[in-house]
Amino acid sequence: MENLKLEATKYTPGITLTTEGIISLVGKSYPENTFEFYAPMIKWVEEYFENNPAQTTIVNMEIIYFNSSSSKLFFDFFDLLEENSGEHNIEINWIYDEENESAEEAGEDFIEDFENLNIKLVVK
Amino acid sequence: MNINVIQKLVDTDGIVFLSYGGYLSQTLISGMTEALELEAKDHGITMSVSNNIFTIFIELAQNMMNYSKAIDSEAMKAQGLIVVSKDSEYNYYIHSQNIVSLTDKEKIEPKLLEIQSLDKVGIKKRYRELRKSGQHTHGKGGGIGFYEIAKKCDSIEYNFTKIEEDRYYFHVKTKITTTKGEK
């Protein structure tokens, strides 16, 4: 399995996925077609968990702002992580600027919605 | 062009600093969002408020972009109007208007009626319920765009104006309050 790296654009985050267990999303997220844009990432993550993942998987989410379809996509992504959290050790960092209250609130909502996931709020 | 229409908007809603009518593309939306980012930075608006402005703007603009793409009929193509303005009290307003069919009016209106019947806490709760259930999810998104907008603005108003059979102007007006000099 190969690593996957997508450069950030004005409306999509930089994405880094490594077989050493790092999943990182940094930037803004409002693609024209969100589900299509994130499909390769979701596919990679699914395959990663099926094929001998790292002992601990670290997920770093640092999204400055995002549209509602990205919000739905992130929800589905966390759902996928939760499905794998029984067998695998997954640590999620929801990273935001201390002045970015919307991002903080979004992180708090995900924590409440995914009680089985280990999501930490990390102020930059 | 009747410039008095713009003048009227300036008189009632203050300074109009972004106004666009026509075909909406992703590149254009992204460019306008960048312009808004500069405007926000220039005026020392807090990160929280400015991110709310960007999200609402993107949501309304992408709504119109996706809507016009989904429509085959020539008459419905790519017609979108989006206006961002602010008044002397530093309240920001984002308007959008496009033409929709009766079927779409019937799809959109119940969501907006529900939103207007809820307070902020209720809207946030409903947003998370819908996101979780995927009840409104369609090809382009989660179908929760108006709930996202309502979560992030201080008021949302809308109206449908009939143009002719099966064609309505759909106007959304959102208000975002900010305080100048607010950290």
- A80, pLDDT greater than 50: yes
Alpha-carbon dihedral of residues B26, B62, A106, B130, nearest 10 degrees? -140
Position B24 confidence tier, pLDDT thresholds 50, 70, 90: confident
**CATH fold of B3-99+154-176, please?**
Heat Shock Protein 90 (3.30.565)
Name the minimum distance, in Å, from the CA of B112 to any CA of chain A.
16
Say what the pLDDT of residue B67 is.
76
Name the minimum distance, in Å, from the CA of A108 to any CA of chain B.
12
Say what the pLDDT of residue B17 is.
77
Q: Is B65 exposed, middle or buried (0-12, 13-18, 19+ CB in 10 A)?
A: buried
Please tell me if residue A68 touches chain B, with a CB cutoff of 8 Å: yes
Q: Is A118 exposed, middle or buried (0-12, 13-18, 19+ CB in 10 A)?
A: middle
Whole-number Å distance between alpha carbons of A27 and B174: 26
Say what the pLDDT of residue B39 is.
86
Say what the pLDDT of residue B1 is.
66
Q: What is the mean pLDDT of residues B139-161?
A: 90
Which pair of structure tokens corresponds to residue B11?
């008189």
Q: What is the mean pLDDT of residues B106-123?
A: 95
- A57, pLDDT greater than 60: yes
DSSP B25-93: -HHHHHHHHHHHHHHHHHTT--HHHHHHHHHHHHHHHHHHHHHHHH--SGGGTT-EEEEEEE-TT--EE
Domain of residue A92 covers 4-123
Mutate to test the interface with B, among A10, A38, A67, A79 (most CBs of B within 10 A): A67
Question: In chain A, how many domains are there?
Answer: 1
Q: What is the mean pLDDT of residues B108-127?
A: 95
- A15, pLDDT greater than 90: yes
CA distances from B169 to A69, B80, B149, B164, B172 (A): 24, 10, 19, 10, 10
Q: What is the mean pLDDT of residues B147-173?
A: 94
More confident: B66 or A67: A67
Say what the pLDDT of residue B181 is.
45
Percentage of the residues of chain B whose pLDDT score is greater than 70: 89
- 3-state SS string for chain A: CCCEEECCCCCCCEEEEECCCEEEEEEEECCCCHHHHHHHHHHHHHHHHHCCCCCEEEEEEEEEEECHHHHHHHHHHHHHHHHHCCCCEEEEEEEECCCCHHHHHHHHHHHHHCCCCEEEEEEC
**A68 vs B contacts (CB less than 8 Å):** 59, 141-142, 144-145, 147-148
Name the minimum distance, in Å, from the CA of A75 to any CA of chain B.
7
pTM to 2 decimals?
Answer: 0.92
- A107, pLDDT greater than 60: yes
Contact B62 A33 (CB under 8 A): no
- B183, pLDDT greater than 70: no
Task: Report the CATH number at residue A70.
Answer: 3.30.750.24
Q: What is the mean pLDDT of residues B144-165?
A: 95
Contact B131 A64 (CB under 8 A): no
Say what the pLDDT of residue B77 is.
56
For chain B, helix, strand, coil in percent to 5 are: 50, 25, 25
SS3 B121: helix
Asked which of A82-91, A93-102, B32-41, B67-76 is least confident by mean pLDDT, the reply is B67-76
Mean pLDDT of the residues in chain B = 86
Say if residues A94 and A119 touch (Cβ distance below 8 Å): yes
Q: What is the mean pLDDT of residues A110-120?
A: 97
Asked which of A67-76, B34-43, B113-122 is least confident by mean pLDDT, the reply is B34-43
Q: Write the pLDDT tens digit of every residue in B49-79.
A: 999 999 999 999 999 888 766 655 555 555 6
